[in-house]
Structure 1
């Protein structure tokens, strides 16, 4: 029989994950939460819902967490009536959120203490890839535990990389997001300066594409730079800022250099302050174009 799956966090990414798990014939229970995307598509496919974290864990062999970050993961697991209270021996918690590795280690210990297993499996790629079942997963945890849950992960991922022990997946995700979001912020700042010196946006993108500025970050920023279409990178600036803060925290814990990350975080913080938490990362280009720096 297939494992029973529970999911906490049916947002932009979690909805695609849940949709594919159900489509592959798994029994799914989703947590009812105000931050969810509409659940009708899932319930029409046979998914169940519950407002109780404990009940969700009791009904599941595998619990997938797809929430904002470390504070939310800790709350979901440890609050009264939370997932830890409902886990049964032999269950597995899969944390697909983006979290600080130090917190991940603590939560893994808490899950292990009740007789269950924990792996971190943060995602790269976009909500569209989640819907298509084509995410990339960076997994930290025991290889045997990963092997046991791999069939579920393969429902929504086309690439699964075992990064190392618990926490390694989250560490690798933070490294990835620093580079990818840092590149997007650099491109946004350059696009703003290009506008000031009257360089045509299409020419700006064309020249970058043909040289050292080409790549995934430019491809995702291109629609906004040329046509003010932000859908190429549907990632909230507030989430980007959170990820950069987590990266700086991880680097600081390891006494690693992080001056560039500090600057990227500062730029994203400005974007959130001026455009709000729901502004998308590509919108940084126009915000910086409009901003006049003091002499």
Structure 2
């Protein structure tokens, strides 16, 4: 199979290098200013394309790894989108974090063009993408998943089939709400602890030995104790986007989202203050009392 990828960012670059080096697949990618440096993947044989349609025309599988639903919709349904040049029976694998209702609409467009669609959002971080150990939450038909599983296996540790189409994105939003929500809460607590002059190592140790022990703590602890933000290279603006997608999904379902509203406001305030490109661990500093 020839693989295409659109979105060679922090996550997509790792996916691309493993599709090439571990999977041994031919790869085309969209040349875009938002890409990470592509020297490595070009050296491994990747070919740059000028438009999503050009990627689609060359590919049996097209992986999307972009910011959210507006970007996915433009790539799939735009004037030079993948649906305009899709190979028959090609599969779009959407690894973005997107709204479930948008996913269903994009799948209809792809099916009308003769292809099929899987939503396959990722859990884990850019480090895992580089190492080829991402986890995927896949929604869609079983036979479609099995057709592309060799490609997915080249950059993952686990591929979980979680239900019909759109359930991958639904579960990713649930996952990110819990994950980002925990980290936002923890960052607020860490900021108050620092304001009060508590030893940051003691703060972390107390949480780690009690009910605060969590992956959220593991990811934020390096910043709390040492100022190292690299435990989670995930922009605050993207965290806010994911929470707001969760809120939109909840509103459509008539579900409660009171806590999510508070998390969204905390993140929105940081973005409004010019910190959208800060990494999530830096919230521990951004939430501090400016007078302390």
- What TM-score does the superposition give when structure 1 sets the normalisation length? 0.97
Matched, 1:44 2:43: yes
The reply on whether 1:5 has 2:13 as its aligned counterpart is: no
Q: Does 1:252 align with 2:251?
A: yes
* CA–CA distance in structure 1, aligned partners of residues 45 and 286 of structure 2: 44
Q: Match of 2:34?
A: 35
Which residue does 1:20 correspond to in 2? 18
Residue 291 of structure 1, CA deviation: 4.0
- Contact persistence 2:191–2:287 (CA under 8 A): yes
Residue 155 of structure 1 corresponds to 154
DSSP-derived class of the 1:290 partner: coil
CA contact (8 A) 2:207 2:213 kept: yes
Q: 2:291 & 2:155 partners in 1: Cα distance?
A: 44
SS in 2 for 1:208: helix
Query: Counterparts in 2 of 1:1-295, with a 5 A limit?
Result: 3-23=1-21, 24-291=23-290
The 1-side partners of 2:207 and 2:274 are apart by 27
Task: Give the 3-state SS of the residue equivalent to 2:87 in structure 1.
Answer: coil
Deviations 1:56-78 (A, max 9, x none): 10000000000000000000011
Structure 2 unaligned segments of length 5 or more: list them.
none
How much does 1:276 deviate? 2.6
Deviation at 1:292, TM superposition (A): 6.1
Q: Distance in 1 between matches of 2:4 and 2:38?
A: 14
Partners of 2:237 and 2:206 in 1: CA distance: 30
Question: 1:277, CA displacement in angstroms?
Answer: 2.0
Structure 1 distance, partners of 2:123, 2:138, is 11
Task: Report the Cα distance in structure 2 between the residues aligned to 1:195 and 1:38, rounded to whole angstroms.
Answer: 37
RMSD: 1.1
How far apart are the structure 2 equivalents of 1:85 and 1:114? 7
